[in-house]
Amino acid sequence: MVFSSAVFLFVFLPVVYLLYRLIPMRTGKNLLLALSSILFYAFGQLQYVPLFLGSILLNYFSGLLLIRADKPSRRKLFLAISVILNIALLCVFKYTDFIITELNRGFSLSLPKSGLDLPAIGISFFTFQGMSYVIDTYRDPKGGTKNFLKLLLYISFFPQLIAGPIVKYHDIAEQIDNRTETLEETVLGIQRFIKGLAKKVLIANAVGYIADRVFNVCLPGGIHDWRLMWLGGICYTLQIYYDFSGYSDMAIGMGHMFGFQFRENFLHPYGAASLKEFWRRWHISLSSWFKEYLYIPLGGNRKGKVRTVLNKLIVFFATGIWHGANWTFVFWGMGHGLLSSLEDLGVIPAKKLEKSKLGRIVAKTYTLLAVMLLFVIFRANTIADGLSLIRYMFVGRADVYSSYLLQSLLSPAAILFLVLAVLFAGNLPVKLRNCLEKSAFVTTGTYRLFSLLLSLMLYTLCVMDLARGGFNPFIYFQF
């Protein structure tokens, strides 16, 4: 079940929210949300519910053992076993066939594949969330819980279950017990949800259709027009941002509706002036997870420049492979790690460039280009395909058929959404918000009415677009 589907928008979410408001007791509300989340997960993949619940039980009992253990040696043992089992669970369902394929290729073997299917709904997300709970409980046993319902709700809560943001237990533990659902919070939540829905349906789907045509039709079909290659790279870079940030907006919005406050997951990353800054703005919950639970335990930047670079490359390797069992993801992660390390060492003078207006323009251009080219590798089926597309960006040749195809892809509506996507992908929304906050208009009833009408208009456009059917995937569901 996806957020931008009719069954979710018109049945699941309204029914759950109505029942939630009718139930008086906090425990009853939490139970409803937990059961609804299991139903949400089971929709379309009932066979993986035991796996999902088994993962939660594993981390619940691991937490209990850590809370009750009185010896440091036992606590370390329980932590190690839990982390190993979590990672093993992830590896079996996500990397088994990849490892078998590479063994067959490297040693000329003919081992049969496992036939295991990756659970369609984000196993990487709920596994990492469970691991963060266990590690935090090891660090501070008082921060854990003996109440299974609380942990069940924390890991399974449907707004952030399939694509994040990754939430830490200590960030919402108090909210599970004590939270308020006001009319103002509900309205803000609905508006935030609609904002995310519009990002997904109106922009991500539009540019994503073009990107898929280039990656799945043009490149494999021998069409190597440089214009189409650039269009495909730009459109995918925009698609993955609006798709994922739109999902995060919807998750945060629904959190408000049910009284939860989730941290921001995207802060206009395409306005960054370095890759280091990009990762402070992109998928913040994941980058924070790796920083806290991998980078800092490895030693962070406390053990010299060489060790810092090595630690950073390890983290970005893990970030890449976390996204999927393909060398394209590893290349993407290592590319970010290498460029980020070169920035730290001063080889790429990102910090110096930021000191002048012209330099900042150069830094932003470099960052956007690096992000886009690495996303081309990320999107491609193989590293060779990605490198070919990048090569054709610079040496590809235009022909009559390519011109016809380009014209068919760039319809007036597609051009409109492409322009809007480019305009709002950077720092423009921040500048507009700052201008509004300085104006007295933002505190007036007229502004509130305008905001509500704009949300209603966007929602209507989304429903109309969804009614037509067609291209409507969520990129990060595969992770």
Tens of pLDDT along 69-81?
888 899 999 999 9
* Per-range mean pLDDT, top range of 97-101, 283-287, 322-326: 283-287
With pLDDT > 70 as the criterion, what percentage of the chain qualifies? 95
Encoded amino acid at 457, one letter = M
pLDDT of residue 118: 60
Tell whether the model's pLDDT for residue 196 goes beyond 70.
yes
Task: Please confirm, yes or no, whether 283 is among the known catalytic residues.
Answer: no
Tell whether the model's pLDDT for residue 318 goes beyond 90.
yes
- Which band of pLDDT confidence, cut at 50, 70 and 90, is reported for residue 449? confident
Average pLDDT, the chain: 90
- Range in 117-131, 315-329, 413-427 the model is least confident about: 117-131
SS3 266: coil
Q: What is the 3-state secondary structure (H, E, C) of 19-33?
A: HHHHCCCHHHHHHHH
pLDDT of residue 479: 58
Tokens of 457: 């208009």
Tokens of 446: 């007229």
For residue 50, say if its preceding peptide bond is cis, omega within 30 degrees of 0. Answer: no
User: Tens digit of pLDDT for each residue in 86-130?
Assistant: 999 888 888 888 888 888 888 888 888 777 666 557 788 999 999
Mean pLDDT across 28-52: 91
- Range in 165-174, 356-365, 371-380, 420-429 the model is least confident about: 420-429
- Which band of pLDDT confidence, cut at 50, 70 and 90, is reported for residue 472? low
Q: How far is CA 33 from CA 18, 29, 40, 52, 99, in A?
A: 12, 6, 10, 16, 38
Tokens of 227: 């214009």
User: Tens digit of pLDDT for each residue in 261-275?
Assistant: 999 999 999 999 999
pLDDT of residue 445: 73
Q: Are 75 and 69 in contact (CB under 8 A)?
A: yes
pLDDT of residue 477: 60
Tell whether the model's pLDDT for residue 443 goes beyond 70.
no
Tell whether the model's pLDDT for residue 47 goes beyond 90.
no
Tell whether the model's pLDDT for residue 473 goes beyond 70.
no
Tokens of 284: 């913040």
User: Tens digit of pLDDT for each residue in 147-166?
Assistant: 999 999 999 999 998 887 89
pLDDT of residue 426: 81
Greater pLDDT, 435 or 451 = 451
Greater pLDDT, 447 or 258 = 258
Greater pLDDT, 236 or 304 = 236
Q: How far is CA 301 from CA 78, 223, 335, in A?
A: 28, 46, 19
Rg, the chain, Cα only:
23
- Which band of pLDDT confidence, cut at 50, 70 and 90, is reported for residue 229? very high
Which residues touch 342 (CB under 8 Å, ≥6 apart)? Answer: 348
pLDDT of residue 109: 83
Q: Active site residue: 224, 256, 283, 323, which one?
A: 323
- Range in 43-47, 48-52, 211-215, 461-465 the model is least confident about: 43-47
